[in-house]
């Protein structure tokens, strides 16, 4: 039998006993992997599922934020990938895909949303336990966002339509947007708990499958699988390249990638300083800096630079770092020892390169993977802390002279995921936003996402878009149909 995760939550924000199977989820059942091996609760990613038109496989693995093993999960192998893909294909060909009307898919997705709302606190607690983010943010952002996302696409399920093209009177020509086939996405332990809700909602077996495994085995098998029609991946640019290479060498499967970022946050002289400080802190330190669109490069115009830095430093010092279940905690521990060490190595790199630590720059406490929110100044554009994605609570503050100067600096990166602009001048705000090479530009806010607004990057920050109507094109194939109404040769 697969392992069972059991945990007694007794925190100020959530009190309950949680218990569920941590087996692979294939064809509606929880199973051991083909080799009967397990993984010690390792490597979390993110919670956002899409259950619209496709039969879906979600690849899950998890890691503990305080270094203590909580449980184990069944380890998938390439054999299990074949089983999951076959189950997904069977569901796609018999009970889902073209065989489940949009209205039926919408009803099932709406049932799942209701169950997620009913179990929202538990899902948030699992997210907090899983990767160290605060329970409050997991509840109000991740879980709430996932609920909103599935509800949004439930509304789209029966509204994906083609067009009729005008050609000649003796011919009817139209297009159909058909489900693309088996799609693979990558996600964490919380998805395993979601599988129980998926069964409870009444989804046909095989529509959603979850495999817990390692990238070099399961991930590689999926990326190279001849029966997988698409891979949607969120993660590093390096892994994104490997997925694209595997897709090209196999069946030329579709690939959408949401990769790294080094997002600029531009604050002009006429900005509301208090709001700019609050948003800048949220932009870089939210979710302990482990956010792909984190505003890690903070550009401040010279007229307000010193005052902004003073207030920003004070704000950063006021952020509470600690127990993610404490109601007043803003920043929890980093997701793993590996990530903790990686972030600390970047901090040491900044110090060695001559950057000045205005605040933070060291471990918080003596246990766990806590890092003090860190601000660097006196940086050079060539420094690693300016050019490379740190994926942690580390930001740099850089003084700039004018619009031309900051646009040049902001675009000097291989990434292009997001950017932010703070100013009271609407013309300047829009002009700057349009000139920034980024897939998302926020004006007088940061890290504000909506399910109906597309999200994705330019340059090496990814390919394709998630969310909104734009995402539907990634999961459907357009077919043109020509009907002869009487023309004879």
Name the percent of the chain lying above pLDDT 70.
92
Shared domain for 135 and 35, answered yes or no, is: yes
Shared domain for 237 and 310, answered yes or no, is: no
> Does residue 487 lie within any of the structural domains?
no
Shared domain for 394 and 254, answered yes or no, is: no
What does the pLDDT average to over 369-390?
A: 96
Looking at residue 63, what is its pLDDT? 41
> Does residue 38 lie within any of the structural domains?
yes
Shared domain for 245 and 282, answered yes or no, is: no
The tally of domains found in the chain comes to: 2
Selected residue with higher pLDDT from 70 and 273: 273
Q: Are 263 and 419 within 8 A, CB to CB?
A: yes
Looking at residue 61, what is its pLDDT? 42
Shared domain for 24 and 77, answered yes or no, is: yes
User: Can you give the residue range of the structural domain that contains 22?
Assistant: 4-259+466-474
Question: For residue 404, how many other CB atoms are within 10 A of its CB?
Answer: 10
Task: Tell me the HSE value of 374 on the side-chain side, using a 13 A CA sphere.
Answer: 26
User: 30 in helix, strand or coil?
Assistant: strand
> Does residue 68 lie within any of the structural domains?
yes
Shared domain for 73 and 193, answered yes or no, is: yes
34 vs 211: CA distance, rounded Å: 12
Distance between first and last Cα of the chain:
66
103 vs 52: CA distance, rounded Å: 11
Whether this prediction's pTM lies above 0.85 is answered by yes
CATH code of the domain in which 440 resides? 3.40.309.10
Q: Starting at the edge strand that comes first in sequence, how are the strands of the sheet with 374-377 ordered? A: 356-359, 374-377, 394-400, 297-301, 264-267, 418-422, 440-443
Shared domain for 199 and 326, answered yes or no, is: no
Question: For residue 71, how many other CB atoms are within 10 A of its CB?
Answer: 17
Q: The tokens of 479 are what?
A: 């077919």
**Residue (of 188, 155, 220, 168) closest to 73 by Cα position:** 188
Instruction: Specify whether 258 is catalytic.
Output: yes
Shared domain for 132 and 154, answered yes or no, is: yes
Q: Dihedrals φ, ψ of 93, to 5°?
A: -85, -15
**Residue (of 258, 310, 324) closest to 280 by Cα position:** 310
Shared domain for 285 and 376, answered yes or no, is: yes
Shared domain for 253 and 269, answered yes or no, is: no
> Does residue 217 lie within any of the structural domains?
yes
Catalytic residue among 49, 122, 258, 358: 258
Looking at residue 358, what is its pLDDT? 97
Kindly report, residue by residue over 265-314, the tens digit of the pLDDT: 999 999 999 999 999 999 999 999 999 999 999 999 999 999 999 999 99
> Does residue 142 lie within any of the structural domains?
yes
Q: Dihedrals φ, ψ of 158, to 5°?
A: -110, 20
Kindly report, residue by residue over 75-101, the tens digit of the pLDDT: 899 999 999 999 999 999 999 988 899
Shared domain for 228 and 377, answered yes or no, is: no
Shared domain for 310 and 356, answered yes or no, is: yes
Classify strands 15-21 and 4-10 as parallel, antiparallel or unpaired: antiparallel
> Does residue 340 lie within any of the structural domains?
yes
């Amino acid at each position: 039998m697969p392992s069972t995760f059991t945990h007694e939550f007794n925190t100020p924000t959530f009190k309950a006993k949680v218990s569920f199977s941590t087996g692979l989820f294939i064809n509606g059942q929880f199973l051991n992997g083909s080799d009967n091996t397990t993984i010690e609760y390792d490597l979390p990613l993110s919670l956002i599922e899409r259950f619209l038109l496709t039969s879906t496989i979600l690849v899950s693995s998890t890691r503990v934020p305080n270094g203590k093993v909580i449980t184990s999960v069944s380890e998938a192998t390439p054999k299990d990938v074949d089983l999951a893909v076959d189950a997904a294909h069977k569901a796609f060909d018999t009970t889902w895909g073209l065989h489940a009307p949009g209205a039926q898919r919408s009803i099932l997705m709406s049932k799942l949303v209701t169950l997620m709302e009913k179990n929202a606190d538990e899902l948030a607690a699992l997210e907090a336990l899983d990767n160290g983010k605060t329970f409050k943010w997991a509840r109000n952002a991740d879980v709430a966002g996932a609920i909103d996302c599935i509800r949004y696409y439930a509304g789209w399920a029966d509204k994906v339509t083609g067009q009729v093209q005008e050609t000649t009177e003796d011919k009817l020509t139209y297009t159909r947007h058909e489900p693309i086939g088996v799609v693979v996405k990558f996600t964490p332990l919380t998805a395993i708990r979601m599988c129980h809700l998926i069964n409870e909602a009444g989804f046909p077996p095989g529509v959603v499958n979850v495999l817990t495994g390692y990238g070099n085995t399961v991930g590689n098998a999926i990326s190279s699988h001849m029966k997988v029609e698409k891979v949607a991946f969120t993660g590093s640019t390096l892994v994104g390249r490997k997925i694209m290479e595997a897709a090209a060498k196999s069946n030329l499967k579709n690939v959408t990638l949401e990769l790294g970022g080094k997002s600029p946050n531009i604050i002009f002289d006429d900005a509301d300083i208090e709001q700019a400080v609050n948003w800048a802190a949220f932009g870089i330190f939210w979710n302990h800096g482990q956010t792909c669109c984190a505003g890690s490069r903070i550009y401040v115009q010279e007229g307000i630079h010193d005052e902004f830095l003073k207030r920003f430093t004070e704000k950063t010092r006021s952020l509470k770092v600690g127990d993610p279940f404490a109601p007043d905690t803003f920043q929890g521990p980093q997701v793993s020892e590996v990530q903790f060490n990686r972030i600390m190595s970047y901090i040491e790199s900044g110090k060695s390169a001559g950057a000045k630590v205005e605040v933070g720059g060291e471990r918080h406490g003596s246990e766990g993977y806590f890092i003090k929110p860190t601000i660097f100044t006196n940086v050079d554009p060539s420094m690693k802390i300016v050019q490379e994605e740190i994926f942690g609570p580390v930001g740099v503050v850089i003084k700039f002279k004018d619009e031309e100067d900051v646009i040049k600096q902001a675009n000097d990166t291989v990434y292009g995921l997001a950017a932010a602009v703070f100013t009271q001048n609407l013309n300047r705000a829009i002009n700057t936003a349009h000139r920034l090479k980024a897939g998302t530009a926020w004006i007088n806010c940061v890290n504000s996402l909506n399910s109906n607004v597309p999200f994705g990057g330019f340059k090496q920050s990814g390919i394709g878009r998630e969310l909104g109507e734009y995402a539907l094109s990634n999961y459907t194939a357009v077919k043109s149909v020509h009907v002869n109404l009487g023309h004879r040769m």
